[in-house]
Structure 1
Amino acid sequence: MNKTLINNLATGIVRWRWAVVIAFAALLALALTGVGKFRIAASADTLLVKDNKLYIQTQVAQQTFNPDEFILLAYEPREHDVFSDQTFSDLSRLQQEIKQIPRVESVTSILTVPLIDSADALSGQTDVSNLTWQKQRYSAARMKELVSGHPIFTDLLINRDNTATSIQIVFKPNPELVKIDQQITAIQAHLLNRKLSEEEQAQLEALKSQAEPLRAALTQTRKQEINQLNEITQPYNQRANTYLGGSYVVGQHLIDIIKSDLVIFGLAIALVVALLLAILFRRVKWVVFPLLSCGLSVTLTIGALGWADLRATVISANFVALQIILTLAVMIHMLGSYRYIAREHSDTEQHKRVELMLKDKLSPCFFASLTTSVGFAALLFSGLEPVISFGLMMLIAMIISQLVSLILFPALLALLPAGSEAQDYGFIRRLLRRSRLQTLNRPGLTIAGTALIFIVLSVGITRLNVENSFIDYFADDTQVHRELAYIDKEFGGTTALDIILTVTDKPDDPSLIISADSVNQLQLVQQAVTAFEATGSVTSLANFTALATQLNNGRPLTEYELTSIYYLLNEKVVNQLVGAYFSEQDQRLRIAIRVQDTTAGLDREQFLNNLRQDLASVGIAADHYQLTSLFVLYQDILSRLFDSQITTLGLVYIALGLVFLAIFRSLKVALIALLPNVLTTLAILGVIGWAGIPLDIMTITIAAIAMGIAVDDTLHFVHGYMAGLKEGGGQAKAAAEEAFKHSGLAILMTTTVIAVGFSLFGFSDFLPSVYFGLLTALAMIMALVADLTLLPALLNKLVATQSAPAQPQGDKANV
């Protein structure tokens, strides 16, 4: 940065300090109006690539078969049997209480479904809707006979071991929202074949805007409903375990976690940072003013995000804590310079001290923030929508943090009276001195030893994997993990996977709803799917035909008998027995599968590949079926992670290399500055591999973000080293002394604050946040080691023109 420009900026900020404060006060007032507009999003499309074709296909299929929005309430008796009067009494009362929730459309359990025990019931001579426990009051023994191993209700209303039952709670849809969603899907469906026109794109955006307040209201309603269900089940927990499951329950838990992480960890980090600042600087003003600036940065950012309608997702839930840490990192470097100036020039007035601080640190702090921004900017090319959104949010946050830390913070300092500064801790100075002497005395050994350690760690990259599940995102002792794991194991899986089959063999007789060949083919597909270890419940029209065969003494129904029964049964019973598995109008069949995420060694990619092979083996051509729903969408995300990691890191390396080259105007110095950070990112990926932690949409951001942050300290150190080299006539000793004295302490303090701040995420209930926090903290410590050992050793050996003899170990000079 031009020296004249720096001098003018430094003078201007100090001179116009009150104008700066007033300007930021005005910005704060504006931002506060946007804070109320800030939103949290946890829907499926926030985790996908924009205009994802698999997501669109899933939406189209859902509109065709119109599956219900439901929550599953599992009931596991502790001391009494599932088939007992106590269970039936509890289920009856639970159903009555649940029906009082305004949006509940129906409540289904083993007490309310038709329990058909003979083929005569399907002949049309019997009202099947009367064959329920509610109407017939079957005995416990008779219920066990009728329900155990039921082709349709097993894994949905009763588990395979007959130790737990469940209630399916179906909710009324919002007709207005359904209509808007249908219009949105109809427009998005064009993306399967072509790009949207400008008019269609405008219509799509308008429809999404109309849907937004309706979705927000629905989210709030769902939260209230889940709370009501928890209150309803509480009295029954004295004699039974109850569990809530369903995608909407998971979505609400994610929203709660995002809100919790935003507030709790933002405040926790602020408190811990305050304590660290008090310990490190021992002055009240160095606690109050940095935290005040951090709070202002966060408020301005939230306001800006609210106005821009950028929403926090699971990935960006930690942006508040992250911004506090990053804003503080810049201010610690500024304070380090200020305190050095205050001690060296104790008789200088406050305005002059701040001006000298700005002249010293404005340029390196600006470029340090720029390099951090490069790390976040690389996330824009990840190809994953939540990661892209996170990168964009953090770019906005970094711009605001730069303005606050480089303009407002110095202006506030200029308002303070000049005072004395506490001396640095002796043990810190001794630690830095030892590091400096080691790099001067044994540069070759330092380079070889440090590089070897980082390379060994990097080998773990070969062990990286992307296998993960929603259940694994939550700590074992959390309610959501217990609920998901239980329902996954006992009620046929958690993650939905649909196979949509196009009926190619149309019946010759137009009066038939489906041909016998199509039913046979459907049964073959269902048998193939059921054979997988990870397959939980599988439901389709084949379950209905299996029930009919079972009731018909093992003789399959003819296509004419099947058609007759289909039309004889009333609509409610057809929906209960066949449900959303057959579209007579479109001649499409749906096989609804739930995959058990808790299956040991589940390889989702291999599962889908094997499924496609099995479908081909039973004669289903690839263009005659679609795989849709959450399992496919989630696997699509996982499959992109490796490519995304390579892309983001590659861009970070190139961009930071170019920034270093522009700053130092030396290819050698730029490469030396880049090397420790490259080794750090490779090492942290290696640690992830060695630890067996799977890559997910949060852990893939660690390397790029850690490098973007850690490179700040590298820049400050190299800046100090090159200044010392210039003043010391090219001597390594003089350069190293200047770098360690001027930047070493600030680097150590910054890393301490950042590492401690990130490590607090280890207390989150959301495991991706735990991994993100702890691994980023570890990456920062690795970067600190590299910056204080490998980096000075490389500079001493390859850049300094005179490698003067190092000081002896007894040297008492300053850091």
Structure 2
Amino acid sequence: MDVLRGAARVIVRYRVAFALIALFLLVVSIYGMSQLRFESDLSSMLPEGNPAIDDYNALQNEFQSGDSTIIVVKIDSIEPGGVYDIRDPEVIAAVYELEQRLRKREYITDTISIADVYMQVLGRLPRTEEEARFVLDMLPPEQRYSLVSRDYTMTMILVTISREKKTETLVRVYEGVQEDMESVKFPQNVEVIQTGNIGITYRILQLLQRDLNKTMAISFLLVIALLLYFYRSPVKALIPLIPLVFGVAMTLGFMGLAGIPLDLATTTIGAMLIGMGIDYGIHVTNRYYEERRSGRDIEEAAAEAVAETGKALLGAALTTIAGFAAMYLSTLPMLHNLATTLILGLSLAALNAVVITPAVIILEEDVMKKLRGHYVPPEVRSSSGFIGSAFHSLGKAIKARPHAFLGAVFLVTLVFAYGVTQVTTEVRLEKFVPPGMPEIEAIMDVRTEFGGQDELYVLVRADDVRNPAIVRAMYRFENQVKADSYYNGVFSSESLADVVYRQYGYIPNDGEKIKAALASYQGSGLVSSDYSMAVIKFTGDFGGSMDEFRRIMRYFEGEAERAQGTEFPPGVRLALTGDLYLNYVLDQLTSVEINRISAYGTIFVVLIVMLLFRRIRVALAMITPMFLGALWTVGFMGLAGIPFTQTLAGVISMIVGLGVDYGMHLTHRFLEEMNEGSTRPIVTAVGSVGPGILAGALTTAGGFLALLAGELPTIHDFGVTLAFGIFASMMAAYLVTPALLQVFYGRKIGGDSR
């Protein structure tokens, strides 16, 4: 306490110096913010050294087939003067022209479209619609309807792309393809949309950038509105906000300087820090005003506010940071980045609250005194009127009937315990884009009309994949998988075995013939340059529900393991890979990480509480709301249908870290009052600290709810879940912590129940 009071005196004496240091750091942070970059590459979300990443990198490096984009060409209206059939020669000519433009791009390795069929059959494009119909009617139905929809209102161009896995490259590729699309004049009534992996990822990048700015702005507005209500003065409302602005800017600046990207998790950092960081400033400000109203002078009030509130703030900050630090134990790099930014941001918020807030308050008092000639005692709405009376009454009720409140909490917990059993996970990239987006609508149309265009790769490793026994095994494996198409959603496949079979009508035992067939093949790469790897590409509809997606991926894993053990020669290894399989691997990792992070986060927080307070009953009163808040939050997710995603994998650890703060503030004030001899410490603690907790929780939840303004569904879910977690932890603290303290210390305190 003496150390904190000494620190308060230093702050008062050197407040101008502290302000200048903060301004200098703000300037450096603004430069760092200009270096921020956005990241949406799925492979960057998985840990280094993971076998799935190694296989994925091999696919990218050797076959350049991990990226693709789909250009959907469809009839979107029936206005007079336009075309009504995708077989119209004008449409086919436009498709062909677009293909030729795309093939000039250095990063495009292959394109496939309906125009290629006419060039192969006729040697030219069709001149009449009758000619176009005749050529398509010659094709087998399965081949025909892989190119055009059954009602002839849609076709597509499949584009294979080779690119570096950098955000800047993705943007350049997408915009280059889009430029070519816009340069080709399609007939009236025809709409052209770029979708697939590149299109969806680009859209997510756009939304990430928009969501960061929008959610931060709305979060600030919500917090300012709440502060204006509670403090009744624009000037006093800005006091706890100023250190927060510095903290958020410094955090974003550090991210830019340290090269930490803004991704699906860290894009939320601005709104989250605004919501969480304001809590610290509010507690210091409220205690300062409380001390000033009791008659203390400026220096005494600052010393008392920092000394008394500072210990609780330090404990709250440490437990929150401990909850976030558990995310470092995750193997997911994305959660490491989120933990780093949150810990840094909250550390700065807590430091600013203790160091800068008192200095700003005193500066404001000096200015207002010069303007008015005297000091006006502040009236904080949360400590007076209806809100103050309500918390006073709550404290009296809990003091009188603590067991009744604990029983009510138990019944509520039973409801949310059922919700815990209903929680699911979702990690597929396309699910992060809001419904109704043209790219998502287009990919849904592709799946409906063409049996799906999801791509899954099987990597075959051997000394020489041209070995006839290996090629024959690949052919059997492919056909076995396609025979189960009703079960696995496979539409087509392509491999070295198909090249050989088309050449000879069978798989020869002569290795030289296989080499000759491969040498004459002109399509996309199916074999590595040293012939140690080959790829089998399966195309189909592997989407649907998450359970269906997992079932299909497990099917492929089982088939690959079976074929490796029974059909392929010894020493040959099969491995699933590609963007789709990375989704599945990420799903498995996310399920494991949720349990690990939550368990370690809880252990870290409990240990810090025990080290700080060293009393079992006191610690239990603090941490029980934390457990309940986390349990209620997971139950809410299950009841509301909110799945765990990569972003939400660490949410329980975050709620645990945040939820203990409210119980800590109440317990600390209770112990302070009890040590001073009060016979009603429960009533005083709830009546005095309760309003501050409400103000802090409302501003924190307001910051989180600002994420609803984002367009990405995963950002919505993150905001709603964290906001609910804050309210759940707050309510648990109000109802459980005072009740437990009354049960534990009621006889020792004595006194009446008024």
Q: Is the contact made by 1:455 and 1:679 (CA closer than 8 Å) also made in structure 2?
A: no
Of 201, 219, 226 in structure 2, the residue corresponding to residue 251 of structure 1 is 201
- In structure 2, the partner of 1:649 is 598
Corresponding residue for 1:575? 522
Q: Which one of the candidate residues 354, 362, 378 is aligned to 2:302?
A: 354
The residue type paired with residue 609 of structure 1 is R
Alignment of 1:494-573 (within 5 A): 495-502=454-461, 517-518=472-473, 520-528=475-483, 530-541=485-496, 556-557=505-506, 559=508
How far the C-alpha of 1:10 sits from its partner, in A, is 0.9
Give, in whole Å, the separation in 2 of the partners of 1:671 and 1:325.
27
Q: Do the aligned partners of 1:380 and 1:388 also contact (CA within 8 Å) in 2?
A: yes
Matches within 5 A, 1:355-394: 355-394=303-342
1:466 and 2:428 equivalent? no
1:282 aligns with 2:227: no
Correspondence 1:295 to 2:245: yes
Structure 1 residue identity aligned to 2:250: L
**Residue matched to 1:593:** 538
Letter in 2 for 1:67: S
Counterpart position of 2:157:
167
Q: Helix, strand or coil for the counterpart of 1:532? A: helix
Say if 1:699 and 1:53 are closer, same or farther in 2 by CA, change over 3 A. same
Residue identity opposite 1:20 in structure 2: F
C-alpha distance in 2 between matches for 1:100 and 1:65? 20
Deviation track 1:358-407 (CA, whole Å, cap 9, x = no partner) reads 22212211221121111111111122221122111211222222222221
Aligned AA for 2:390?
A: L
Out of 430, 440, 464, the residue aligned to residue 399 of structure 2 is 440
1:11 aligns with 2:9: yes
Question: CA, structure 1 residues 595+312, in 2 after alignment: closer, same or farther (shift >3 Å)?
Answer: farther
Residue 617 of structure 2, aligned match among 665, 668, 690: 668
Q: Which residue of 2 aligns with 1:36?
A: 34
In structure 2, relative to structure 1, the CA distance for the partners of 1:136 and 1:569 (3 Å cut) is farther
**CA 1:450–1:765: 2 relative to 1, 3 Å:** same
User: Per the alignment, in what secondary structure is the counterpart of residue 799 of structure 1?
Assistant: helix
Tell me which of 124, 136, 143 is aligned to 2:135. Answer: 143
Match of 1:50 among 48, 51, 61: 48
Amino acid aligned to 1:356: E
* Aligned-partner Cα distance in 2 for 1:770–1:543: 46
Change (3 A) 1:526 1:333: same
Aligned twin of 2:258: 308
Partner residue of 1:419 out of 376, 379, 388: 376
Cα gap change, 1:604/1:519 in structure 2, threshold over 3 Å: closer, same or farther? closer
TM-score of the superposed pair, with normalisation by structure 1 = 0.82
- Alignment partner of 1:112 is 2:105: no
Considering only aligned residues, what root-mean-square deviation do their CA atoms show, in Å?
3.4
Task: Quote how far apart the aligned CAs of 1:136 are.
Answer: 12
1:138/1:101 CA distance change after superposition, 3 Å = farther
Instruction: Spell out, residue by residue over 1:730-763, the C-alpha distance to the aligned partner (whole angstroms, 9 max, x if none).
Output: x4xx111221232111001111111222122223
How far apart are the structure 2 equivalents of 1:740 and 1:519? 71
* CA distance in 2 between partners of 1:33 and 1:404 (Å): 20
Q: 1:523 and 1:717, CA in 2 relative to 1: closer, same or farther beyond 3 A? A: closer
Distance 1:505 1:57 in 2: 18
1:620 is the counterpart of 2:606? no
Tell me the equivalent position of 2:699. Answer: 753
Over the matched positions of the two proteins, sequence identity in percent amounts to: 18
Deviates more, 1:481-490 or 1:640-649: 481-490
> Which residue does the alignment assign to 1:82?
86
Aligned-pair distance for 1:505? Answer: 9.9
Q: Pick closer, same or farther for the CA change 1:728–1:44 going to 2, 3 Å.
A: same
Structure 2 CA distance for aligned equivalents of residues 655 and 86 of structure 1: 67
| Cα distance in structure 1, aligned partners of 2:631 and 2:6 | 41
Are the aligned partners of 1:714 and 1:787 in contact in 2 as well (CA < 8 Å)?
yes
Distance 1:24 1:604, change over 3 A: same
**Distance verdict in 2 for CA 1:286–1:540, change over 3 Å:** farther
* Distance across 1 between alignment mates of 2:33 and 2:562: 57
Q: What is the distance in 2 between the residues matched to 1:524 and 1:65? A: 22
Residues 423 and 638, structure 2, Cα contact 8 Å, conserved in 1: yes
Give the Å deviation of 1:89: 3.8
| Residue of structure 1 in register with 2:179 after alignment | 228
In structure 1, the residue matched to 2:715 is 769
Over 3 Å counting, the alpha-carbon distance change for 1:668 and 1:560 in structure 2 is closer
2:251 partner SS: helix
2:728 maps to which residue? 782
Secondary structure of 1:133's counterpart equals coil
Task: Give the TM-score of the pair, scaled to structure 2.
Answer: 0.88
* 1:58–1:628 CA contact under 8 A, matched in 2: yes
Matched residue type, 1:60: A
The Cα of 1:779 is off from its aligned counterpart by 1.2
Letter in 2 for 1:532: Y
Q: Aligned to 1:626, what secondary structure does the other structure show?
A: strand
Task: Kindly state the Cα deviation for residue 564 of structure 1 after the two structures are TM-superposed.
Answer: 7.2
Change (3 A) 1:643 1:69: closer
Equivalent residue letter for 2:615: S
Shift of 1:795: 0.6
Tell me by how many angstroms 1:547 deviates.
6.5
**In 1, are the aligned partners of 2:62 and 2:529 still within 8 Å (CA)?**
no
In structure 1, C-alpha distance between the alignment counterparts of 2:517 and 2:421, rounded to whole Å: 61
1:371/1:659 contact within 8 Å kept = yes
Cα distance between partner residues in 2 of 1:229 and 1:807: 78
AA in 2 matched with 1:365: L
Between Structure 1 and Structure 2, how many residues are aligned? 733
1:291-321 CA distance string (max 9 Å, x none) = 3322211211122122222222111110011
Distance 2:179 2:116 in 1: 22
**Deviation, structure 1 residue 64:** 2.6
Deviation at 1:70, TM superposition (A): 3.8
| In structure 1, C-alpha distance between the alignment counterparts of 2:701 and 2:391, rounded to whole Å | 18
Identify if the C-alpha distance between structure 1 residues 391 and 563 changes in structure 2 by more than 3 Å, giving closer, same or farther: same
**Partners of 2:508 and 2:152 in 1: how far apart?**
33
Q: Which amino acid aligns with 2:643?
A: P
The secondary structure found in structure 1 opposite 2:457 is strand
- Aligned equivalents of 2:193, 2:639: Cα separation in 1: 35
Query: How far is 1:287 from its partner?
Result: 2.8
Deviation, 1:87, is: 2.4
Q: Deviations for 1:432-477, whole angstroms, at most 9, x for unmatched residues? A: 1332122112111111111221233123222333255323222213
- Give the corresponding residue for 1:205: none
Change beyond 3 A, Cα 1:458–1:138? same
User: Structure 1 residue 712: deviation in Å?
Assistant: 1.5
**In the TM superposition, what is the alpha-carbon distance from 1:493 to its structure 2 partner?**
3.5
Aligned position for 2:389: 430
CA distance in 2, matches of 1:116, 1:541: 22
Q: CA deviation at 1:640?
A: 2.1
Q: Which amino acid aligns with 2:522?
A: N
- Give the unaligned 5+ runs of structure 2: 79-83, 366-374
1:155-234 mapped onto 2 (5 Å cutoff): 155=146, 157-159=147-149, 162-170=152-160, 215=166, 217-222=168-173, 224-225=175-176, 228=179, 231-232=182-183
Paired amino acid for 2:350 = Q
Provide the residue aligned with 2:21 in structure 1.
23
* Aligned partner (choices 286, 289, 292) of residue 339 of structure 1: 289
1:680 matched residue in structure 2? 629
Match of 1:407 in 2: 355
